[in-house]
Amino acid sequence: MIQDFFTPIPKDVFSENENSGDFFESQIAKHTSEQGFPDLENVSLAIFDVREGRLAVGNQETAIGADDIRKELYKLYLGNWNVSIADLGSVNQGNSVSDTYYAVQETVSFLVKKNIVPIIIGGGQDLVYANYRGYNQLDQVVNLAVVSPKFSFGNIEEELNSNSYLSKIILEEPCNLFNYANLGYQTYYNSQEEISLIETLSFEAYRVGALKDITIAEPVMRDADIVAIDMGVVRSSVAPANGNANPNGLFGDDICAIARYAGISDKVTSFGIYEYNKLFDVNHQTSKLISQMIWYFIEGFSLRTNDYPYGSKESYLKYLVPFEGEVISFYQSDKSQRWWMQVDVPTKSKYNRHVLVPCSYDDYVKTIEQKVPERWFNVHKKLT
């Protein structure tokens, strides 16, 4: 059972608000020494932290500090939602890094099979690899969306770490990855070979400047199964608690909007925040921001409408757009008013759950103008 992987939440995390119905900590099931591991029956979201930073390049202290985030999260007022949440406590550092990875992998697999969305507080970003491996037993290919200034391909011969985990995800068997999307990359932190590789593999990447229109992130989050946020993507003046922090990046409201988009997405089944280093925090600024990101993810989750791939597209409004002798179908949800575009694939393909590509109304308009969005072409290349 997964409870064998976890240690309880320390008593000093709790505040005088614990028994007040208005605050976050009063409304979640918590793993404590007194109460034991929480009952996961009817739970929708499960928070846990991973105290592993040995492979976080330049940021090894990221293994500590999750309880600082908990303290800030527990002090927040509840939102207007009705979501059952459990805090499972901490996965402690194993004898080897692979031991820690195994605990994370098994926990993610167990929770996702029970339709519980894990919210992971890292730890180094290499833990994304362990999160991804948690889908090995689920018999599906997945989309990974990472919000980070770096792609983290690294050197192919390099051992797995926070700067090279993506190569391991792509190259190691079994390969369950259908699409990788990066939001917020900064060109000077990525080689031209890596940038070219993104294009060659028909992956997606959006520079940090493009995210001045933060709504660009919404279709990307809607198409993701796994969402991972590297706190190094937030500028150091906003979130200093990172050994690799830099002056450029997203603002706090941007990263909270992305977290909310991830929560709203019916497809996202795991969500992680990595690379928080409490030794560099100032006035708890970064731990407060991360707690608010989690709060916004939960708010988004409470607003899910069971659109595609869980709902039927049969009741959607359908729009047909001629393009170069073909017809591209667009669908608008009758529940959320969000848009999808269809990519045709052979029948009984293992990629059937990826044939409707999330998009925006602007993508529909551009297609009418005979400018089909790059996201459609990327998926088309993979499926044909």
What is the pLDDT tens value at each position of the chain, 384 positions in all?
Answer: 899 999 999 999 987 666 667 899 888 999 999 999 999 999 999 999 999 999 999 999 999 999 999 999 999 999 999 999 999 999 999 999 999 999 999 999 999 999 999 999 999 999 999 999 999 988 889 999 999 999 999 887 889 999 999 999 999 999 999 999 999 999 999 999 999 999 999 999 999 999 999 999 999 999 999 999 999 999 999 999 999 999 999 999 999 999 999 999 999 999 999 999 999 999 999 999 999 999 999 999 999 999 877 777 778 999 999 998 889 999 999 889 999 999 887 655 566 666 889 999 999 999 999 998 889 988 888 887
Report yes or no: 206 and 184 within 8 Å, Cβ to Cβ.
yes
E runs forming strands in the chain: 6-7, 29-30, 45-50, 85-91, 117-121, 142-147, 177-185, 204-207, 226-230, 270-274, 317-323, 326-332, 339-342, 356-359
What pLDDT was estimated at residue 158? 84
Report yes or no: 52 and 236 within 8 Å, Cβ to Cβ.
no
Distance CA(160)–CA(211), nearest Å, equals: 29
| H or E element at residue 380 | helix 374-383
What pLDDT was estimated at residue 63? 95
Q: For the chain, report the end-to-end CA distance as a whole number of angstroms.
A: 42
Number of helices (H), then strands (E), in the chain: 10, 14
Which residues are bridge partners to 181 per DSSP? 145, 204
Q: What is the pLDDT of residues 112-145, one digit of tens each?
A: 999 999 999 999 999 999 999 999 988 889 999 9
Chain centre to alpha carbon of residue 292: 15
Q: Closest by alpha carbon to 137, among 172, 169, 113?
A: 113
Report yes or no: 303 and 266 within 8 Å, Cβ to Cβ.
no
Which residues are bridge partners to 85 per DSSP? 45
Give the SS3 label for residue 245: coil
Distance CA(146)–CA(137), nearest Å, equals: 22
Instruction: For residue 304, count other CB atoms closer than 10 A to its CB.
Output: 19
Q: What is the pLDDT of residues 331-367, one digit of tens each?
A: 999 889 999 999 887 655 566 666 889 999 999 999 9
Report yes or no: 126 and 162 within 8 Å, Cβ to Cβ.
yes
Report yes or no: 183 and 223 within 8 Å, Cβ to Cβ.
no
Distance CA(355)–CA(360), nearest Å, equals: 16
- Cβ contacts of residue 305 below 8 Å, gap of 6+? 266, 311, 333, 335, 336
Q: What domains can you pick out in the chain, each with its CATH number?
A: 2-302 (3.40.800.10), 313-383 (no CATH)
